[in-house]
Amino acid sequence: MKKVKWGVIGAGGIADRRTIPGMMLSQNAELTAVMEVTKEFADRIAEKYGVKYSYDNEDDLLAKPEIDAVYIASPVAAHYGQAVKAAQNHKHILLEKPLALTTREGAELIALCESENVLFASGFMMRYHAYHQKAKEIVSSGALGQIVSMRAQLTCWYPEIAGCWRQSFAQSGGGSLMDMGVHCIDLLQFISGAKVTGVSAMTGTKTFSYDVEDSASLLMEFDSGAFGYVDAHFNIPDNAAQCRLEIYGTKGSILADGTIGQAEGGQMLLTVSDDDDLEYSAIQDRGQNGGIAIEAVLGNMYEKEITSFGNSILNGEKVEAPASDALQVQKIVECAYQSSRERRMINVK
Ligand SMILES: NC(=O)c1ccc[n+]([C@@H]2O[C@H](COP(=O)([O-])OP(=O)(O)OC[C@H]3O[C@@H](n4cnc5c(N)ncnc54)[C@H](O)[C@@H]3O)[C@@H](O)[C@H]2O)c1
């Protein structure tokens, strides 16, 4: 089987924790080169995974003709420059979220990749979670009726860490919303097939002293007419939040705990009303069982992400998480920040 030869830029963070292990499982991927900020660091990663080349700069990695594609998982401020060079060197690109510090930079990258004829995907790996795929199937089958309300939550505990790029606006472009909320917004749009048209948000730094938000709550309107709610926090302990996903329609609901995150786990419950002529009941019985457990075979989202983009490169299959979707999500985030500053609802265009 032909394999995509991958180079990884910024190999020591999430790449080492999750994506490279997923890449090692993928049948159509071959990890060929890694780059880190020092040669010693890059060598350590290369040795760990048995990789042929290791570099302390992206130029040498990108100059290798045998590399077909790069996975860029460096801090956000480095994304734009590295993705520009990768496209100019005709490497297909899987770029972590957010695409760049601003949507202007993200749009430039998309235009460049088109003109250089390279494929450009974003790191929305949660789309590949078996439960999220199942939820999308159920919603599109119409089983939940008209979707009226959705919610997604992603939080962690993230106190001040000296020198941390994520806690500096200049290096990250934003805090809990830009870093984690983007996955939630993407999932609601992905599962429902609807697009956000308006957002009303509150963002702020309530607990810590860094210059990005540690708290964000968004109310959104979708083009389907549904309403949605996303909350993303850096100030809720990891064991205090289940990172809930909730989809409600006129005929039922999907309620999930623990599916939004880096491990493909959690549980998802489905409730569907089989009564076509549902009437008002003053008793408002909620039932006891909370729904039927949805069955799905769980795997590794990062492996699926790499294999999927590999199939696009090798076989021309549709890019499942295109960069254009990440750009549109980042536009929503920028509108949310504006909404919070101006204390009003913003239309997303
Ligand atoms: N999809 C996911 O599951 C997921 C999870 C976490 C982070 N991310 C994204 O991945 C990216 C990196 O986040 P992280 O958590 O791995 O951060 P991190 O700080 O843990 O790791 C970043 C790595 O990049 C290296 N680095 C620093 N400057 C660099 C440069 N100029 N060029 C190349 N490498 C450089 C660092 O040495 C470090 O090893 C961000 O865009 C983040 O949003 C995605």
Extended beta strands in the chain, E state: 4-9, 29-35, 53-55, 69-72, 92-95, 120-122, 147-155, 196-204, 215-222, 227-233, 245-249, 252-257, 267-272, 292-293, 346-347
Q: What is the pLDDT of residues 89-116, one digit of tens each?
A: 999 999 999 999 999 999 999 999 999 9
Atom 25 (ligand 1): residue with closest C-alpha? 10
Mean pLDDT over 246-267 rounds to 97
Ligand 1 pocket list (CB less than 6 A):
9-10, 12-14, 18, 35-37, 73-76, 78, 96-97, 123, 125, 179, 262
Question: Of all atoms in ligand 1, which is nearest to the CA of residue 124?
Answer: 1
Q: Which protein residue has the closest C-alpha to ligand 1 atom 30?
A: 74
Atom 11, ligand 1: which residue's CA is nearest? 73
Residue nearest to atom 31 of ligand 1 (CA): 78
Ligand 1 atom 6, closest CA? 14
Tell me the pTM.
0.98
Question: How many other CB atoms are there within 10 angstroms of residue 170's CB atom?
Answer: 10
Give, using CA atoms, the residue closest to atom 21 of ligand 1.
13
What pLDDT sits at residue 281? 86
**334 has a pLDDT exceeding 90:** yes
Specify the ligand 1 atom closest to the Cα of 36.
34
Burial of 285 (0-12, 13-18, 19+ CB in 10 A): exposed
Over 80: is that where the pLDDT of 250 sits?
Answer: yes
* Ligand 1, atom 9: closest residue by C-alpha: 96
- Ligand 1 atom nearest the C-alpha of 82 is 32
* Dist. CA 13 → ligand 1 center (Å): 5
* Cα 19 to ligand 1 centre (Å): 11
Per-residue pLDDT at 87: 98
Using pLDDT thresholds of 50, 70 and 90, give the confidence band for residue 259.
Answer: very high
User: Which residues are bridge partners to 261 per DSSP?
Assistant: none
Average pLDDT score over residue span 227-247: 97
Residue 288: band (very low, low, confident or very high) from pLDDT cuts 50, 70, 90? low
Work out which ligand 1 atom sits closest to the CA atom of 14.
16
Percent of the chain with pLDDT over 70: 99
Testing ligand 1's pocket by substitution, the residue of 8, 9, 14 carrying the most ligand atoms inside 8 A of its CB is 14
Residue type (1 letter), 340: S
Answer for the pair 92, 122: CB distance below 8 angstroms, yes or no.
no
Residue 305 CA to residue 169 CA, distance in Å, equals: 28
Q: Which tokens is 25 given? A: 């499982």
Residue 31 bridge partners (DSSP): 6
Residue type, 207: T
